[in-house]
Structure 1
């Protein structure tokens, strides 16, 4: 597990370093595609390695659970449900934020164009932008409900 974590940290550092180099010195278009392709390929290799690693640890855990008493199995099931709660909360917040970003991107650009043509539309356009930002707030509320209720 520490190997996968170290590998991911190296990939993140390499990606950030490449971005800093590109900002300072500039990179030709052909090199950008090659660098992004290498980054994407290494990401998938690391993810496949992580999945294989975790499948192996899950098999070992299942074998040890078969040998243990029922209370330990119930405790592990409780830990699993706790993890699923965290995963559900993260998904609801993340997907709501992505939806909010998409909605604000289109609503705010349209609002800017409308305000530039007619100043009286400022209040109406703010309502639409505020409604689209409310999507993220609803996702956060759902996450809180998942975690604490």
Structure 2
């Protein structure tokens, strides 16, 4: 619910960032660096608070059940596999797509071969999705 309430603030922030980039380049860079530094400090403070939780919070999480204690690692692994494979596929499609368009501009009859190569590059993301489904099934 908090994310839905924060969505207009996020949209306004993105609009302000675009306006700053168009109007004042150096000022926008300083603002972005300041915001990023603030976010890193907030994340660090949250990490310190989470790591310094006492035994009372450990007892509360133990009361939720033992089944929920081991599932978080599989879910994080699934998220990492999807994110990593998607980023890898994006990089691969960028390079192979550019090369395919360059080859097609000279020889249009290479369309089939070029699309197969781009499709193979997109298959990397599907492999990450399959791994994440397997990991979620084990959670």
TM-score, with structure 1 as normaliser: 0.72
Q: Which has the higher contact order (CA 8 A, sep 6+)?
A: 2
Which residue number corresponds to residue 139 of structure 1? 128
Specify whether residues 79 and 50 from structure 1 end up closer, same or farther in structure 2 by C-alpha distance, changes over 3 A only.
farther
Cα RMSD of the aligned pairs, angstroms, is 3.1
Q: 1:9 & 1:32 partners in 2: Cα distance?
A: 25
Which residue number corresponds to residue 55 of structure 1? 48
TM-score, with structure 2 as normaliser: 0.76
Cα distance, 1:56 vs structure 2: 1.6
How many residues are treated as equivalent by the alignment? 135
Q: 2:103 & 2:68 partners in 1: Cα distance?
A: 52
Structure 2 unaligned blocks of 5 or more: none
Structure 1 unaligned blocks of 5 or more: none
Q: 1:40 & 1:12 partners in 2: Cα distance?
A: 17
Q: Is the 8 A contact 1:96 1:136 kept in 2?
A: yes
Q: Secondary structure at the match of 1:93?
A: helix
